[in-house]
Amino acid sequence: MSHGLKTLWPWLAAVAGVAVFHFLLTDRLDPYYFTILMYAGINATLAVSLNLVCGFTGQFSMGHAGFMSVGGYVSAYITTLIAASHPNWIDDPNIAPTVFACVLMIAGIASAIMGYLVGLPSLRLRGDYLAIVTLGFGEIIRVIVLNVDAIGGARGMPNIPALSGFGWVFGILVLTIFVTWRLIHSRQGREFLAVREDEIAAEAMGVNTTSAKVRAFATGAFFAGVSGALFAHYLRYLNPQTFDFNRSFEVIIMVVLGGLGSLTGSVVAAFFLTILKELLRPLQELTKLDFRMVIYSALLIVLMLTRPNGLFGTKEITSYFKGKFGKGDSA
């Protein structure tokens, strides 16, 4: 019991922190900074969920934006339907959170099902195929969205109810980190790590490698779908162009920069890169050239050549903290 509490208190503190900041910041912070903060939170959720696939299971997915768009469009479609038929479910502050929680859940499940369908054929084979198939999947989703008129097609989907907020985005972020953390320290997670380290050896030890990879992949897709739903209900407008390959690539670079296999690293890198993007904006407007992708791709190559483990490697920030105060417990 005491052990349970001891491992739980950082999470409870994080939830309390989110609640406090929710009341401190909402409607008080400058809207521009608030938006950046929200994007950073959504990106961090994406990065953490991709890290489960890339960092902890060693599979390379390039279609995270695709899963995000599945979640975003599914949830937006449902809430606009609800807003049309039962407007009070959206407007009533007592009911809306429950409705939104259900919608987030559905968005996640829809994405996870897509993840299962995409992952199953490609994950039976070695990792490289997953990269191409997920890349293709992102494109296919985009083509489909463009051709479906019910969700706006190329015009995009406007007037999505504003349900998402600081508490939601950062609450989900904490939840994602919590679930991923607990997952990788469970029996399931050990299987993921075994697959990453050596697939053949893992198989010899009785791990069903295909199943482990598909489970990790579907879980990653679930949270990508949820963050897509958060994004849709914050921006209130969806466009197929938002979820192109560059979006997937941004998430990949966040994961790689933070360290494949470091959850805190992903969060730090997501915040860093989201803010960097805004800082680079004046330069871009001045020169009329898009340096961002050049910088990102060069950064990726240089990182791989010089520090392939990213900023934090497989370590968490907390482990540095522990080392410093000599509590050294091997987590």
The answer to the question of residue 244 lying near another protein (CB under 8 A) is no
Q: How far is the CB of 232 from another protein (least distance, A)?
A: 24
Q: How far is the CB of 303 from another protein (least distance, A)?
A: 8
* Token pair belonging to 73: 């469009």
Q: How far is the CB of 180 from another protein (least distance, A)?
A: 18
Q: How far is CA 63 from CA 34, 222, 246, in A?
A: 27, 13, 10
Q: How far is the CB of 146 from another protein (least distance, A)?
A: 8
**Residue from the set 95, 101, 128, 154 that interacts with another protein by CB under 8 A:** 128
Q: Rounded to an integer, what distance in angstroms lies between the CA atom of residue 271 and that of residue 40?
A: 5
Name the helix (H) or strand (E) containing 134: helix 127-147
Q: How far is the CB of 139 from another protein (least distance, A)?
A: 6
The answer to the question of residue 114 lying near another protein (CB under 8 A) is no
Q: Rounded to an integer, what distance in angstroms lies between the CA atom of residue 285 and that of residue 289?
A: 7
Contact 261, 314 (CB under 8 A): yes
Q: Rounded to an integer, what distance in angstroms lies between the CA atom of residue 83 and that of residue 120?
A: 36
Contact 51, 179 (CB under 8 A): no
The answer to the question of residue 280 lying near another protein (CB under 8 A) is no
The answer to the question of residue 260 lying near another protein (CB under 8 A) is yes
**Residue from the set 26, 298, 321, 328 that interacts with another protein by CB under 8 A:** 298
Stretch that binds another protein, among 11-19, 33-41, 54-62, 70-78 (CB under 8 A): 54-62
Number of residues in the chain: 331
Contact 266, 258 (CB under 8 A): yes
Name the helix (H) or strand (E) containing 75: helix 64-85
Q: Judged by CB, which is closer to another protein: 58, or 165?
A: 58
* Token pair belonging to 154: 């190329």
**Residue from the set 41, 58, 108, 189 that interacts with another protein by CB under 8 A:** 58
The answer to the question of residue 116 lying near another protein (CB under 8 A) is no
The answer to the question of residue 54 lying near another protein (CB under 8 A) is yes
Q: Rounded to an integer, what distance in angstroms lies between the CA atom of residue 25 and that of residue 21?
A: 6
Residues in Cβ contact with 299 at an 8 Å cutoff, skipping those fewer than 6 apart:
253, 257
**Residue from the set 12, 125, 154, 162 that interacts with another protein by CB under 8 A:** 125
The answer to the question of residue 212 lying near another protein (CB under 8 A) is no
Residue count, binding to another protein (CB under 8 A)? 44
The answer to the question of residue 216 lying near another protein (CB under 8 A) is no
Q: How far is CA 246 from CA 63, 130, 163, 291, 294, in A?
A: 10, 18, 27, 13, 12
Summarize as ranges the residues that interact with another protein (CB under 8 A): 54, 58-60, 62, 118, 121-122, 124-129, 131-133, 135-137, 139-140, 143, 146-147, 200-201, 249, 252, 256, 260, 289-291, 293-294, 296-298, 300-301, 304-305, 308
